A = this chain, B = another copy of it.
Amino acid sequence: MSLSMYDASVPVFVRVLRNLDQVLAKGEAHARDKGADPDTLLQSRLIFDMLPLVRQVQIATDMATRGASRLAGVEPRSVEDNETTFEQLHARIAGAIAHLEGFTPAQFEGSETRAVSFKTRAGELKFDGQGYLLTYVLPNLYFHATTAYNLLRRNGVGIGKTDFLGG
């Protein structure tokens, strides 16, 4: 009657990031087909006061790597938010996936009750591991991956929900 905390997190995060990487690749190809500089797409937004595509991708990768780290009880790594090209964003995603693949199921044993707390701009957030995964990491990860998808979709990129869901 149960699911391991590892299975509910690491492989799911990797899958979301791999699909996001494919969606980005289609965005880049679309811009090239139009004769545009693809990297300008990274600054596009759904509306002026939402974050641009590059930030959606940066946050998605951080959500996944920090989520796995905190569940495993290790200090999240810190990476700079300095990407300005698709190439750099693909490298960031590849780095995040490699980092995620370094975690082992054993590190997640008992993580459903592990105390997780961290500071955000809105103040300190406190969860147990289960609440952190189900009500914070997964909703945020899917939110930013979907927003990246929607942003590209609205720019005319030929992607469909199967690209988002993956094979």
Kindly state the separation between the CA atoms of A162 and B166 in the bound complex, as whole angstroms: 27
Kindly state the separation between the CA atoms of A3 and B136 in the bound complex, as whole angstroms: 16
Copies in the complex: 2
Which residues of A1-32 have CB atoms within 8 Å of chain B's CB atoms? 1-8, 11-12, 15-16
Query: Would you call A74 an interface residue if the criterion is a C-beta within 8 Å of the partner chain's C-beta atoms?
Result: no
Query: Would you call A86 an interface residue if the criterion is a C-beta within 8 Å of the partner chain's C-beta atoms?
Result: no
Q: Are B1 and A5 in contact (CB under 8 A)?
A: yes
Q: A131-167 toward B: CB 8 Å interface, digit per residue (1/0)?
A: 0011110111011001101100110100001101110
What is the chain B residue whose CB lies nearest that of A11? Answer: B134
Can you sample 12 A-B contacts with CB below 8 Å?
A: A1-B111, A3-B8, A3-B130, A8-B8, A12-B135, A15-B135, A50-B153, A122-B162, A136-B165, A140-B161, A146-B146, A150-B150
